[in-house]
Amino acid sequence: MRITFRQSLIALALGTLLAPALAKGPAPSATADAWRADVAALADAADNDARRAYLQQDLTASGLTVQALPFTIDGKQGTNLLAPVSGPANAPVLLIGAHLDRVDVGRGATDNASGSSVVLELAKRFQANPLKHHRVSVALWDLEEHGLLGARAYVEGDAEKPAFYVNFDVFGWGDSLWMMSPDAKHPLVAASSVAAEGVGLKLSAGPQYPPTDHLAFLKAGVPSVSYSLVGADEIPAILQVFAGGRPEQMPKVMQVIHSPDDTIDQVDPVAAAKGIDAVEAALRAWDATQGH
């Protein structure tokens, strides 16, 4: 990713904010263990209803009030989960989400127990240490695998629309945070770059990204980004696949998701813990800039 001079100045200023944020998180091994346990439980769940039940139970056990939001759209029925987490009552909403459903093949560990488990971890962190300028809520979407239906039902419904949406999908391994951002100059991009470097990861940011739930929000006019955790060398080939091409070497992501190989054995909890730390720090640094 090319960083402009203006972004460099933003990143330099944010570095002061990011340093304490990166230092406050749980020990990496604790995060890695907790994240892997959640991914394993979701992968072991019998079906999508059981995955939803686990997520609802986990959030409720953390002291959060979880709303089950049934919907019908395009002739299909599903149920999203929504839980307010923390923050000033009159502040704009930062919504953090991931899809909970999987396809019938494989166990859906990477796609998308990995992303759902990031949401669980961030909910606990923002519950313990709220943001200053945003109310945080978390959501788990149903029927993403049927065409982003859960997220679409939410934005087309009567629920409160967030000021900003952050999505997680395929957050399983690798050396790079892959960030979908339509605006390369958005302060969260600079914050994510500094935060990723702080934990030893790379950042790849830009508008080209596989289709997932952020699209429903962008189409509804809600500013949105999405994060994945993959190998930097996979990204060009992934984009080639989604453009209809066939790369010489199929990237790991495309070999794993929607296949019998999408199991707990594929994910890397240590890398995921680094990614979670980086995203949390970036969101805190970005939130801090919103008060000026």
Question: What H or E segment, with its residue span, contains residue 49?
Answer: helix 48-61
Q: Cα–Cα distance between 243 and 253 in angstroms, integer?
A: 15
> At 33, is the pLDDT very low, low, confident or very high (cuts 50, 70, 90)?
very high
Sign, Cα dihedral of 283, 69, 141, 152: negative
> Mean pLDDT across the stretch 245-265?
95
Domain ranges of the chain: 5-289
Instruction: Tell me what pLDDT residue 26 has.
Output: 63
Neighbours of 39 (CB within 10 A): 30
Distance of CA 76 to CAs 4, 37, 48, 148, 212, Å?
45, 31, 14, 12, 18
Of residues 7 and 239, more confidently modeled: 239
User: What are 197's two structure tokens?
Assistant: 């470097």
Instruction: Tell me what pLDDT residue 220 has.
Output: 96
Q: Which residues contact 292 (CB under 8 A, 6 or more apart)?
A: none
Q: Is 287 exposed, middle or buried (0-12, 13-18, 19+ CB in 10 A)?
A: buried
Q: Are 182 and 277 in contact (CB under 8 A)?
A: no
Q: What is the mean pLDDT of the chain?
A: 92
The gap from C-alpha 25 to its chain's centroid, in whole angstroms, comes to: 17
Q: Are 143 and 149 in contact (CB under 8 A)?
A: yes
Distance of CA 46 to CAs 100, 156, 286, Å?
13, 30, 39
Q: Cα–Cα distance between 251 and 173 in angstroms, integer?
A: 12
Distance of CA 42 to CAs 8, 151, 172, Å?
40, 20, 14
> Does the structure show a pLDDT above 80 at 175?
yes
**208-243 residue pLDDT tens:** 999 999 999 999 999 999 999 999 999 999 999 999
Query: CATH 3.40.50.920: does it fit domain 5-289?
Result: no
- The model carries a pTM of 0.91
> At 24, is the pLDDT very low, low, confident or very high (cuts 50, 70, 90)?
low
User: What are 188's two structure tokens?
Assistant: 């969260």
**140-159 residue pLDDT tens:** 999 999 999 999 999 999 98
Which range, of 7-21, 223-237, 244-258, averages the lowest pLDDT?
A: 7-21
> At 252, is the pLDDT very low, low, confident or very high (cuts 50, 70, 90)?
very high
Distance of CA 13 to CAs 189, 205, 229, 288, Å?
13, 19, 25, 11
Beta bridge partners of residue 228, listed in sequence order: 178
Q: Cα–Cα distance between 60 and 79 in angstroms, integer?
A: 17
Instruction: Tell me what pLDDT residue 290 has.
Output: 86
